[in-house]
Homo-oligomer: A and B are copies of this chain.
Amino acid sequence: VNLLNGVFHEGTTAPFDVTDRGLTLGDGLFETMPVFGGKPFRLADHLDRLERGLRLLGFAVARARLEADVAAMAARAGSSGVLRLTVTRGAGARGLAPSPDPAPAVIVTLAPFNPALVFEPATLATASVRRNDRSPVSRLKALPYLDNVLALQEAIRAGAKDALMLNTADHVACSSVANVFRIKDDRLETPPLEDGVLDGITRRLVLDHAVGLGFKPAECSLTPGDLMAADAVFLTNSVRLIQPVAVLDGRSLATNDGPARILAALKRLISADHATSGTVAPF
């Protein structure tokens, strides 16, 4: 089932406008979030981020419309699921100039939550495709993911599971689908948004809870060498939560108990947020 502009359609097909700028130009944003017991985890954070991005794109969708569509789909998720909310600028005439009066499209889909991805060790290969830190799009969860798709394909060809993407200044940006952190002594470091980094919801949660776990959090530029020299490297993302990085470009990385302690803290947050739903997250 899928939800297009507030109407449910069976399967994955819906009567869609093929001149929609999300399809023709990548002109839109999305959010992906886990749903436990019918309740999306940190929905308000996801909608806040979406609204900040839409302001940068120059159009808006009523928060109540987004909340209603998400709620309608989340109610069908059973005990767990992964909900994707896509917002495009809607149909448009040929050319790049947006209509002054856009009619945005809102699409919601649901996929299974796969607990096996949580804390699955990652192996990374550095991709030649760079993250464009010189565009604000690199800081948005925007539809254009083709750079990341090509980076992932490169990494898979190199025998890794995911890509390490650098920015145009040779600094670490992200994996194809996750933020990157390193632990060094008591420091917990991740690249700043200016380095071409998505403002990840889990990234922010980890930074916000770092002090309580005994870490000194910092947003600072990192090189691949900084990852090689770390005590531990891990990835964050809304549906995989934490993934320790075991290998970078064929070299084994050090690790410690930091990533597991941070995962445990995230699980406590999820349990606390979802306690009233009576459902325990499936991990």
Chain A interface residues toward B at CB < 8 A = 2, 4, 12-27, 30, 32, 56-58, 82, 84, 86, 88, 91, 93-98, 107, 109, 111, 129-130, 132, 134-137, 142-150, 152-153, 156, 168, 176-177
Contacts and interface: CB of A to CB of B under 8 A. Distances in A.
B134 A24 contact: no
B27 A146 contact: yes
Contacts of A145: 24-27, 96, 144
A152 B89 CA distance: 15
A135 B144 contact: no
A129 B140 CA distance: 14
Number of copies: 2
Contacts of A12: 17-19, 91
A167 to B, nearest CB: 8
Nearest to A2: B18
Contact of A146 (B2, B144, B168): B144
A14 B98 CA distance: 22
B24 A30 contact: yes
9 contacts: A12-B91, A14-B16, A21-B149, A22-B23, A56-B150, A129-B134, A130-B132, A143-B146, A144-B145
Chain A interface helix/strand/loop/mixed: mixed
Contact of A135 (B4, B23, B150, B153): B150
A11 to B, nearest CB: 8
A13 B17 contact: yes
A143 B26 contact: yes
Nearest to A168: B168
Contacts of A26: 26, 143-146
B134 A177 contact: no
Contacts of A32: 94
A220 B58 CA distance: 35
Contacts of A86: 18, 23-24
B147 A25 contact: no
Contacts of A176: 96
A30 B95 CA distance: 13
A132 B129 CA distance: 9
Nearest to A177: B96
Contacts of A129: 134-137
Contact of A132 (B88, B95, B149, B168): B168
Nearest to A89: B149
